[in-house]
Amino acid sequence: MIKVLVVDDSALLRKLLGGIFAAEPDIETAFARNGLEALEQLHAFHPDVITLDVHMPGLDGLACLDRIMVERPCPVVMVSSLTAEGAEATLEALRLGAVDFVAKPTGAVSLRIDALAPTLVKKVRAAAGARLRPSLRLRDRIRHRTGRPEARAEGSRPAIPGAGLVLVGTSTGGPPALEALLAPIPKRFPWPILIAQHMPATFTGPLARRLDGLTALDVVEVARPTLLEPGFAYVGRGDADIVVSRRPAGLVAVAVPSQAGYPWHPSADRLVRSAMEHVPPSRLVGILMTGMGYDGAPAMAEMRAQGGRTIAESAETAVVWGMPGELARLDGADHVLPLPAIPERLLAWVV
């Protein structure tokens, strides 16, 4: 039985979300009207997962989340609005330790709630099995980590000569993982980095701006054809796909509409396959990090079989070991590494 605590100041939302969970025979639900009630239920109900509204009077969602992570760490799925303000708050919640988020229905909520139900239930089930990071925030944990996370494997392949691309796929738990991946990369890094992070369109712009302020690289969202340059990281626009194309000026990243056969967006599989059309696999590096499902794993396994190099985040640090775990299962990873070791391996390959 999965015990879910629904925290929302709206009686209607509590009723509608409760109805979604009541239809699942293995989910037991309790409710809280605000952050203070949520903290009381945290210790009385002992939830396995919490769904937490961002905006509440008194103790708001972010302050409540911070207290949860200190008092009794528990997987949290944020329920946030699809606005610029909601996106910023959600990204901050993910930094504070939330596992995932769902977008609150707009307009007539009672008429749109059914469309939310499958996604919400799927994310709550994944959160129930998610690996929580320690209470120290991810960057702090990496900064203060003692010792080397993992020694380089013997017989490791040498550095890659010439120009190439780094292709990154991530989903649940991805924003803090991307911060940890990009933070150690110097501005002089010679290869463009392209990122497929599963997110709505209103979230990827704020994500790119946040990463840009936290890393030496220039990080931009790809909303139009964008020439690929060293020292840059490119975040695919949400609700679309990011692909590599070639123009007279050189390689470009392009945002394109979703395509049948690719269920997640931006699609890591589609990004990798488009890159292989224009760049020899031997000059591609694929990195697959935390996330539900298997997006990116089939394409990166194919890329490795054709001479590319790949890294899967290990279960030790992945919030959800779905995507990277599938790459490992397919024998598609040169290395399976904890997150703090991934930038080191990337820098050893690309000099």
**Which residue, of 72, 107, 128, is where some domain finishes?**
128
Q: Can you list the alpha helix ranges (DSSP code H) found in 171-322?
A: 174-182, 201-214, 268-278, 297-305
Q: What is the mean pLDDT of the chain?
A: 91
Containing H/E element for 233?
strand 232-236
Q: What is the pLDDT averaged over residues 188-208?
A: 97
| pLDDT score, position 146 | 32
Model confidence at 334, in pLDDT bands (50, 70, 90)? very high
**Which residue, of 110, 128, 146, is where some domain finishes?**
128
Three-state DSSP at 171 gives coil
Asked, for residue 188, whether it belongs to a domain, the answer is yes
Asked, for residue 42, whether it belongs to a domain, the answer is yes
| pLDDT score, position 159 | 84
| pLDDT score, position 149 | 37
Give the neighbor-by-neighbor strand order of the sheet with 226-227: 226-227, 250-256, 241-247
Model confidence at 260, in pLDDT bands (50, 70, 90)? confident
User: Are 345 and 223 in a shared domain?
Assistant: yes
| pLDDT score, position 85 | 83
pLDDT tens, 99-134? 999 988 776 777 788 889 999 999 999 999 998 875
Q: Does the pLDDT value for residue 188 go beyond 90?
A: yes
pTM of the model: 0.90
DSSP state of 118: H
Q: What is the pLDDT averaged over residues 175-200?
A: 97
Model confidence at 329, in pLDDT bands (50, 70, 90)? very high
CA dihedral 155, 159, 161, 167 (to 10 degrees): 110
Q: Show which residues are catalytic.
A: 171, 198, 295
Range of the domain at 344: 157-349
> What's the CATH code of the domain at 79?
3.40.50.2300
pLDDT tens, 31-51? 999 999 999 999 999 999 999
pLDDT tens, 301-320? 999 999 999 999 999 999 99
Asked, for residue 141, whether it belongs to a domain, the answer is no
User: Are 171 and 312 in a shared domain?
Assistant: yes
Q: Does the pLDDT value for residue 150 go beyond 70?
A: no
pLDDT tens, 238-258? 999 999 999 999 999 999 999
Q: Does the pLDDT value for residue 89 go beyond 90?
A: yes
Residue whose structure tokens are 């469309």: 115
pLDDT tens, 274-291? 999 999 999 999 999 999
**Which residue, of 128, 143, 167, is where some domain finishes?**
128
Q: What is the pLDDT averaged over residues 324-345?
A: 97
| pLDDT score, position 155 | 52
User: Are 186 and 283 in a shared domain?
Assistant: yes
- Phi, psi at 313, each rounded to 5°: -65, 140
What's the total number of domains in the chain? 2
